Structure 1
Amino acid sequence: MLRLLNIELIKLKTSRVSRVLIFGYFFLLTCIALIAAIKFDIGPIKFHLAEQGIFNFPFIWHFNTFVAAWLKLFLAIIIVSMVANEYSNKTLKQNLIDGLSKKEFILSKFLTVILFSVVSVLFVFVVSLILGLIYSDYNEIGIIFSDMQYLVGYFVKLVGFFSFCLFLGILIKRSAFALGFLILWQTFEGISTGILYWKAEAIAPYVTRFFPLNSMANLIKEPGTRLGAVKSAANQLGEEFTKNYDVQFWDVLIVMGWTAIFIYGSYALLKKRDL
């Protein structure tokens, strides 16, 4: 496995675009810290975002994984391009001639997906831990390391999403078209969800839960309505939030199921093709 992963790392190392995108991705992850610097001081109105509790343990694990998940498109571009380049540069055919099996080829890509996901989770963990130790009102060990479920959900979400991108790269073979299809599929899920809630609201939550991208989005729900200030404002308006913000076990299983389908689908497509 290390041999297969090393082959992919060498390819990434020689790609200038990939290096720039990887650097940009982790730079933007680091920029989450800049949220703490957001301040408004207009006369009697004083607002400091970090003082609203977004960096309090354990809420920070939820908030930062939710924000970081929006940046995954950077690595998605790398994965799609990585596959497309195998076709355009004919390195896939050369790898197979040199003795790499199609199963090993897909495995090498999946190992890269796992590596990207693990490094991303570790990076978010370190950034969140540092920000929390600086700004959190709660620094007890038990509180700091509670709600780590969001890091697990973040990892599963990344692996599922990158596996989908890998499948699209194998299916379409052109990075621009594959990314275009990804956007088209997101639009399709959005429209389908809207129609289901309009025509069959009772069953819509159960059906849409199994949509690939929607199932990934369900892993880490929006954290904004968990904030005390938002809850207080809602209570004053007579509203109450009853959402379950936990990472649901069934959502994890659904995304893992889609991951298996995408990886097997990638292998099945490659196996059928005459390269």
Structure 2
Amino acid sequence: MKRLLNIELQKLWKNRSSKILIIAYFVLLSFIAMLASVNFKFIGLDFRLADQGIFNFPYIWHFNTYIASILKIFLALVIVSMMSNEYTYGTLKQNLIDGLNKQEFILSKVLTVILFAVGSTIFIFLLSLILGYNFSSYTEASIMFSDMGYIAYYFLKHVAFFSFCLFAGILIKRSAFAVGFIILWQIIELISWWVLRWFIINDGPQTDKVIQFFPFMSMANLVKEPFSRFEAYRALENINSNGVVTEKFYGTHWYEIIIVLAWTFFFIFMSYRILKKRDL
């Protein structure tokens, strides 16, 4: 496995575009720390984001993993171009001539996908730990390391998404079209939700039960939006007409994990099947 991973890392690091995108990704992740110093002025009030509780333990695990997930498109571009370059420069055929079989080739790509997810997860874990330690009102170990499940969900979400990108890159070959396919699939899911919600099922909760089986929607369910967890928001927005606070579940159900794992396996398996049957 180490040999296969070394082959992929050499290809990526010798490619200028991939190198720039990887560096840019981690630099942009670091910009989350800049939120600590952002000041807002609103109707005469002057406040700093870090003082509003966004970096409090354990909320920071939820907030940072959600924000960081938005930037995963940068590594998605690396993965898609990684596969495109294999066809463009003939390295795939050359690897097979040199003795690498198709199963080992796919394994090398999967290992790269996992490495990206691991690197991103470790980075956001350390960044959250540093920010939380410096700005959180609570630094007791029992509070600091509660809600750590979001780190695991963040990792799984990235493995699944990168597996989809790998599948798109192998299926379509050309990076620009593969990225277009990924964006188009997201749009299709959003349109499907809208059609189901307002024209077919006509019920929000029932629509969500159906749409949770779609690839991107299932990944999104691993780390749900964190903004409404703010106490101020809950006090203003989550009180119904009877004055009862409406609780929202921000965790992850076991079946949501199973759905994402199933999609991840499907994308990797189909990537191998396409490559195995394709005439190179």
Q: Structure 1 length as normaliser, TM-score?
A: 0.97
Q: Hey, what does 2:21 align to over in structure 1?
A: 21
Question: C-alpha separation between the residues in 2 aligned to 1:43 and 1:213?
Answer: 38
Contact 1:215 1:255 in 2 (8 A): yes
Contact 1:80 1:165 in 2 (8 A): yes
Is 1:210 the counterpart of 2:213? The answer is: yes
1:43 to partner: Cα distance:
7.9
Give 1:221's match in structure 2, choosing from 224, 230, 233: 224
Distance 1:79 1:34, change over 3 A: same
Residue identity opposite 2:216 in structure 1: L
Contact 1:52 1:229 in 2 (8 A): no
Residue identity opposite 2:221 in structure 1: N
Question: C-alpha separation between the residues in 2 aligned to 1:234 and 1:204?
Answer: 23
Is 1:38 the counterpart of 2:38? The answer is: yes
Q: Hey, what does 2:63 align to over in structure 1?
A: 63
Distance 1:235 1:184, change over 3 A: closer
Give 2:236's match in structure 1, choosing from 230, 233, 238: 233
Is 1:133 the counterpart of 2:133? The answer is: yes
Q: Deviations over 1:233-254 (max 9, x none)?
A: 2257757442210022211111
Is 1:257 the counterpart of 2:277? The answer is: no
1:42 to partner: Cα distance:
6.4
Question: C-alpha separation between the residues in 1 aligned to 2:250 and 2:210?
Answer: 20
229-238 or 84-93, larger mean C-alpha shift: 229-238
Identity of aligned residues (%): 56
| Structure 2: gaps (5+ residues) | none
Residue identity opposite 2:140 in structure 1: E
Q: Deviations over 1:16-66 (max 9, x none)?
A: 111100110000100001111111246841221111111000000000000
Q: Deviations over 1:95-149 (max 9, x none)?
A: 0010100000000000000000001000000000000001000000110011001
Contact 2:239 2:246 in 1 (8 A): no
Is 1:107 the counterpart of 2:107? The answer is: yes
Residue identity opposite 1:117 in structure 2: A
Q: Deviations over 1:46-87 (max 9, x none)?
A: 221111111000000000000000000000000000000000
Q: Hey, what does 1:248 align to over in structure 2?
A: 253
Contact 1:56 1:136 in 2 (8 A): yes
Q: Hey, what does 2:276 align to over in structure 1?
A: 271
Q: Structure 2 length as normaliser, TM-score?
A: 0.95
Distance 1:96 1:180, change over 3 A: same
1:201 to partner: Cα distance:
3.5
Contact 2:121 2:154 in 1 (8 A): yes
Q: Deviations over 1:148-188 (max 9, x none)?
A: 01001100000000000000000000000000011111110
Where does structure 1 differ by over 3 angstroms across 4 or more consecutive aligned residues? 41-44, 235-241
Question: C-alpha separation between the residues in 1 aligned to 2:239 and 2:159?
Answer: 41
Q: Secondary structure at the match of 1:40?
A: strand
Residue identity opposite 2:47 in structure 1: F
Contact 2:167 2:271 in 1 (8 A): yes
Question: C-alpha separation between the residues in 2 aligned to 1:165 and 1:88?
Answer: 17
Question: C-alpha separation between the residues in 1 aligned to 2:64 and 2:88?
Answer: 37
Contact 2:238 2:247 in 1 (8 A): no
| Structure 1: gaps (5+ residues) | none
Q: Secondary structure at the match of 2:6?
A: helix
Residue identity opposite 2:48 in structure 1: H
Question: C-alpha separation between the residues in 2 aligned to 1:43 and 1:111?
Answer: 51
Question: C-alpha separation between the residues in 2 aligned to 1:43 and 1:157?
Answer: 39
Count how many residue pairs are aligned between Structure 1 and Structure 2: 275
**CA RMSD between the two structures:** 1.4
